[in-house]
A and B are shown apart, each in its own frame.
Chain A
Amino acid sequence: MAQKRFDKMSDAEFDELVNGFIDRTATSYGEMPAEFFLDLLVERMAAKVDETVNLSIDLSGGDDLIITPDRELDDIVIRGNEIFVGTRRFVLKLAEHA
């Protein structure tokens, strides 16, 4: 059943919704039904894999790697040999062999 949209709820109604959520999570596990858990998991994994981005690595500058994605990304920054994802910075380097 459709409920009121957020902007149509009074402060009291929103508080009740939030408090209900918190109270419920304190008294139940809220897990997903086993009958479609795996099906949905695999579906979402496949959808995420559809977001494949190809990275080209240019080694012509000697030890300086240049990474270039095949399209513009709004949530990942790629600069030289560095990739910034969220709060993480990945640095690609050539492996050193003894």
Chain B
Amino acid sequence: MTVTEIQLPAGFTADHEQAVINYLAGNLQGRKVWQAAFAAYDLLDRATLVMPEGHYSFRALYQEIVDRQMADNYLRELLALDYVREDSPALWSSYARQIVSICQQRGWQEAALPGARVLQSYLLCWWGAFARGYAFEVEVFRDLRNSGVEFQAHDLLDRQERYSPSDLIVSGMTGDIKTSVYFVQVATPLQHDFYIVRLFVQGQSYTLAVMLQSSAWEEINGDTILGTLGTLVTGFPYPVRIKQGVHELVALRYDEWKRRILRLQGEI
């Protein structure tokens, strides 16, 4: 595969490149740094690899080289794991190393191809978001099943279903399961009834919260207090009503949401 050049979007500056490097290096302290990283990766969707046979956007390359070739195998191996939380990191890392190998095999090296390191960073970033996102999803599905929550989940091994609008349906409510990073990265409109999300909280490795649309909350019902996600994750045990811009959501801890769903479903 002969590559003639990589064309980065005109608006992609040295600051954007620094944001990509910060992301890889794990230097993600503060809102501005996260914001810059997302902006940089957004721009890179439009970067292109130029080959004699045509131009390929980074997004199209990700679909072709990573998603089409690795996603199904990764998901099959993921679903075969007994302990997803413990063992999935090694699995997604092994695939990440394959991406690095593919880039090397194709001669996408910086010296020969300026921009190649940006491309590799792009592929790794999106792979990380995909792989970790689905590991989290499988972890939640298994936990819900073990807890006795009745739900319908989409089939991850069926490509059509994988791209279905929602990940699961619980008591008629549509929901999505997302890591916080992927959630913000794609930033699609909040069209589902609820979202199960994993967040970082100081002093803990992570915490799980559920955010519901007000209409969905009415199905579950109960009092709320006005607050922020911070109110919830710092230990507040009750549901919190959050107003953020034009959005009004009710957030509660994952375990508390499960308890209320089980009660709604007549299990307790």
User: Measuring CB to CB, which residues of chain A are less than 8 angstroms from any residue of chain B?
Assistant: 1-7, 9, 11, 14, 17-18, 20-49, 74-75, 86-87
Contact = CB atoms under 8 A, between A and B. Distances in A.
B22 interface: yes
22 contacts: A1-B27, A3-B21, A5-B17, A6-B110, A9-B110, A14-B117, A17-B24, A18-B124, A25-B89, A25-B92, A27-B89, A29-B198, A29-B205, A31-B180, A31-B198, A34-B207, A37-B183, A37-B197, A40-B38, A41-B184, A44-B187, A45-B189
A49 B247 CA distance: 14
B187 A31 contact: no
A40 B34 contact: yes
Interface residues on B, range: 35 or more
B193 to A, nearest CB: 17
A14 B228 CA distance: 40
Contacts, number: 151
A26 B90 contact: yes
Interface in B136-184: 179-181, 183-184
Given A6-B118, A42-B244, A75-B57, A37 B184 contact: yes
Contact of B60 (A6, A14, A18, A86): A86
A42 B21 CA distance: 25
B245 A14 contact: no
Interface string B17-44: 1100110111100010011001000000
A34 B229 contact: yes
Contacts of B21: 3-6, 17
Contact of A31 (B26, B124, B179, B190): B179
Contact of B63 (A28, A31, A87): A87
B263 interface: no
Contact of A29 (B18, B26, B206): B206
